[in-house]
Structure 1
Amino acid sequence: MPYQTTLRRLATALALACGGASLHATAATTAETPTRIVIGFAPGGALDIFARTLGEKLRVSLGTPVLVENRPGASARLALENVRRAAPDGKTVLISPAPPFTIFPLTYKRLPYDPDKDFVPVAYLADVPLVASASVNQPYRTMQEYLAWVKREPGKGGVGLVTLGGSIHFGVLSLSKAIGVPLLPTAYRGAVMMLTDEIGGTLPLGIDAVAGQMELYRAGKIRFLGVTGTRRSALLPDVPTLAEAGAPGFETASGWYSAFLPAGTPPATVARIEKAMLEAIKDPVVRDKMAALGMEMNGQSGAALRKLILDQRAQWRPVVEASGFTAND
C-alpha cells in the first residue's frame, strides 16, 4: 500500500475518532450543564420551597443538576427579565405567579418584557388559595354578616391586602361596585402587619394567602369568611367561596404558580420539560409538602396555561380600566 494512501486513511480514522469523541463530550457537557429554575422571590418563602422541591424531582427526570436562582425585586419582574434574556435551550425555567402575566400588562404603561411574545407557557403547576378573614372580636361571623355590617357602616369598609395593583385590589373594587358601598383597599407592607391590625380590631377585613393565616386561625384569633376562586379550597373545605357567600368579584383572584421558558425554545424541549413538571407535581410527597404551605397542585398543560392567562387578562381589563389605576414602582 502506498505510503500516502496509508497516511490518508490514518488521518481519516483519527478525524472520525476525534469527531466521535467531540460529540460524546458535547452530549456529556449538555447533560452536566445545570438547569436553572429562576424565581422572583427571596429564599425561604413558599415559592422558593416549591421550586427546590420540584428541582429534586427534575434532577432525576431530566438527568441534569438543577439549581434554584432567587432574583427578588420589582414584583418578580427582575426574574422575568433574566429568563427573557436566557438562551432558549431548556436550561433556564421561570416559575412565576400570575400578576406579571395577567395584571401587570394592564397596569404598567411599560414593561421590560412582552408576556405573550417573550415566553413559552410550559405548565400550570399550583393554585394558591386566598382567604378573607376577620378578628373573632368583630360583630360579624360570616361574609354575609360582614356585608350587612359594612352597608350600615359605609365609612368603615377598609379591606387589607399586601399589594396594590393585584387581583385582590381589583376584586375589592368589583365587590364595592356590586354592593354599592365604597370599600377602601388598604395596602400593607406585609401580611404580619395586616393581621396585627386585623386582630387588634382596626382593620375590619383582610385577604391574603391561606398559609400565612392558618396559625392564627387554629389559635382562634381570626375567622375565615370566604376563599377566592370558583370552587372551595381542598385546604378549607368548610369555608365557602366568596361568591357563594354573596361577595362577587374574586372568582379569578386566586394566586397561581406556573412554569415558562424563553421564547424560541424548541417544541420538543418544551414538551420534555412540560412532561417532567407535570409528573413531579403528581408525586404525593410533593402534594402533601406543598399543602402544608397553602398550595394545591393543579397540573395543566402549557396550552391550557396560555388560554388561562388570556382569559384572566380579558376579565380584569374592564375592571382595571374603570379604576384608572396605574402602577409606577
Structure 2
Amino acid sequence: MSLPKMSRKLHTKLIAAAAVLGLSSAMSVRVAAAVDAPADLPQGLIKIVVGFAPGGAADLTARAFAEQLSKEGVKEVIVDNRPGASTRIANSYVQRAAPDGLTLLLATSPSFTIYPYTYKNLGYDGEKDFRPIALLVDIPTAIVTGADQPYSNMKEYVAWAKANQKQATIGLAAQGSSGQLGSIALGKDIGVDFAPVVYKGASPMLVDVVSSRVSMGWDAAASMMPLYQGGKIKFLGLSGSDRLASLPNVPTVKEQGFPQFEAATSFYAIFAPAGLPDKTAAALEKVFLKAAQDPGLVKRLQENGLVVKPMDHAQLAQRVRKEKAFWEPVVKQSGIQFE
C-alpha cells in the first residue's frame, strides 16, 4: 500500500497534539503535602511505572493519581514511562524491582488477563510475581479513523474494508490486546483480514491514524480525546454496551451491529512486586483508594473518557481471575500466539 508522506513539521505537531494529556517522561510530581502520609507507606521516592509512551490514557491516569497522592501526604511520586514490547518491558522491570513499595506498576488488564494466553514466553507470572494493590479505573476503548477518511461509522467502514482489503489495517498500542482479538473476530465474520500495526503507545499510533497510514486505530477512548476535540480524528464506535457521558453522540460498536468489541473495555490497576510486606501493601491500597474518591480527579478522568471505579486488592484479584477465564477460550479460538 502506498502511504502518504508527512512533513517533519506536521509530524511534530501531531506528536504534540497526541501528547497533550501527558508530561515529559519520568517527570516528578511535587505538590505540597496537605496531610501526613500513612505511617506504613514506604519511605522514599515512589515510582509509578507505565508501559506506554507519554501522552496516552495510561500516562494521564498515572499522573492524575501521582498528583493526588501528593495531596494525600506522599512526599514525592514520579511517573516512569517504559514503553515497548506491549508493556512487557515495564512489567518485567517492576517484577525484578525490590519489594519495598517504591516501585509500582500501573498495569493495563491484558497484561494479566490476556497475555498469559497470547504469549509463549511472557517472562512473568501475573499471580506469582506481582501483588495486587488496587484497581483504579475502567477504560472504555474506541475505534477511530482519520478525519479525512470517507467513512464515519462502523457500517460504512466495514463496507469500505470489504472493497479495499489490502488497505484494511488496524493500529494498536499493544500486540495481543482485546482490540486485536476484536479485529480478528470481526474479520472472520465479514471476510476481511485486518493487518495489525503495533506501536509503542497510543501517541505514535494516532499520528498514523491522523495521516491515514492505517485505516483505523484502537485504544483507550481517553487517548483519542485531544485529537477528536481538535477535529483530527473521527470515532467509529466504542467498546462495551453503554455510551460514554463524555461522548454521548458516539454509539457503541455493538449498537451498530458488530458485537466483537463489546468485551474490549479494559482497566488500569496498581500492582507491586511479590514479597511486598502486608503493612506496606495495605498502606498503599489505602492511599490509592482515598485518591480515587477525590471529586476533582474523578471529573478530570471522566472528561477524558475514563471511568473511576476503584476496587481493593481482593476485588482486583477476583476480577483478574474472572477475565482470564473469559479470555482463555477466546484466544484459543482466535489462534494467535506470539513469542
Q: Which range, TM-score by smaller chain?
A: 0.7 to 0.9
Q: CA RMSD in A?
A: 3.1
The range that moved more, 302-311 or 114-123, is: 302-311
Partner of residue 186, structure 1: 196
Correspondence for 1:115:
126
Residue type matched to 1:75 in 2?
A: S
Deviations 1:123-157 (A, max 9, x none): 11123322223456656543244445556x37467
Structure 1: runs of 5 or more not aligned: 1-26
Aligned to 2:51: 40
Q: Which amino acid in structure 1 is aligned with residue 206 of structure 2?
A: V
Please point out which of 233, 241, 250 is paired with 2:261: 250
TM-score, normalised by the number of residues in structure 1? 0.76
Q: CA deviation at 1:107?
A: 1.6
Mapping for residues 106-255 of structure 1, pairs under 5 Å: 106-134=117-145, 140-147=151-158, 150=161, 153=163, 155=165, 158-162=168-172, 163-177=174-188, 179-187=189-197, 189=199, 190-198=204-212, 204-220=215-231, 222-255=233-266
**Cα distance, 1:28 vs structure 2:** 9.6
Which moves more between the two structures, 67-76 or 120-129?
67-76
Rate the CA distance shift 1:32–1:205 in 2: closer, same or farther, 3 A.
closer
Are positions 1:99 and 2:101 aligned together? no
Aligned to 1:15: none
The 8 Å contact of residues 127 and 254 in structure 1, kept in 2 or not, is answered as yes
Q: Secondary structure at the match of 1:37?
A: strand
Q: Which residue identity is paired with 1:186?
A: P
Counterpart-to-counterpart distance in 2, 1:122 and 1:31: 14
268-277 or 52-61: bigger deviation: 52-61
Q: Where does residue 69 of structure 2 map in the other structure?
A: 58
> Which amino acid is the alignment partner of residue 291 of structure 2?
A
Runs of 5+ consecutive residues of structure 2 not aligned to the other structure = 1-37
Structure 1, residues 41-74: CA drift from partner, whole Å, max 9, x if none?
3455543343233223323535553333333333
Which residue does 1:260 correspond to in 2? Answer: 271
Question: Once the two structures are superposed, what CA deviation does each residue of 1:278-303 show, in whole Å capped at 9, x if it has no partner?
Answer: 22122122223334544332212222
2:261 aligned partner, one-letter code: F
Alpha carbons of 1:298 and 1:319: their partners in 2 closer, same or farther (altered >3 Å)? same
In 2, the alpha carbon distance for the partners of 1:217 and 1:30 equals 39
Count of aligned positions? 297
CA contact under 8 A between 1:123 and 1:300: conserved in structure 2? yes
Give the 3-state SS of the residue equivalent to 1:250 in structure 2.
helix
Give how far 1:203 is off.
5.0
CA contact (8 A) 1:174 1:319 kept: no
Deviations along 1:66-108, one digit per CA (max 9) or x if unpaired, are 3333333333223222322333333332111122212221121
1:261-276 equivalence runs, <5 A: 261-276=272-287
For 1:293 and 1:64, locate their aligned partners in 2 and report how far apart those are by CA, in whole Å.
27
Q: Normalising by the residue count of structure 2, what TM-score does the alignment of the two structures yield?
A: 0.74
Paired letter, 2:267 = W
Determine if contact 1:102/1:312 at 8 Å carries over to the other structure.
yes
- Structure 1 residues 62 and 267: CA distance shift in structure 2, 3 A: farther
State the Cα deviation string for residues 248-280 of structure 1 (Å, max 9, x = none): 121221232110122232334323222211221
Query: Secondary structure at 1:251's aligned position in 2?
Result: helix
Judged with a 3 Å threshold, the aligned counterparts in structure 2 of structure 1 residues 282 and 138 are, in CA distance, closer, same or farther, namely same
Per the alignment, residue 284 of structure 1 pairs with: 295
314-323 or 166-175, which deviates more = 314-323
Whole-Å separation in 2 of the counterparts to 1:33 and 1:300: 26
SS in 1 for 2:133: strand
* Equivalent pair of 2:209/2:215 in contact (CA under 8 Å): no
Corresponding residue number in structure 2 for 1:313: 324
Q: Percent identity?
A: 40
Q: Do residues 326 (structure 1) and 337 (structure 2) align?
A: yes
CA 319–274 in structure 1, closer or farther in 2 if over 3 Å, else same: same
CA contact (8 A) 2:101 2:280 kept: yes
Structure number, greater radius of gyration: 1
Residue identity matched to 2:70:
R
2-structure distance, mates of 1:65, 1:241: 40
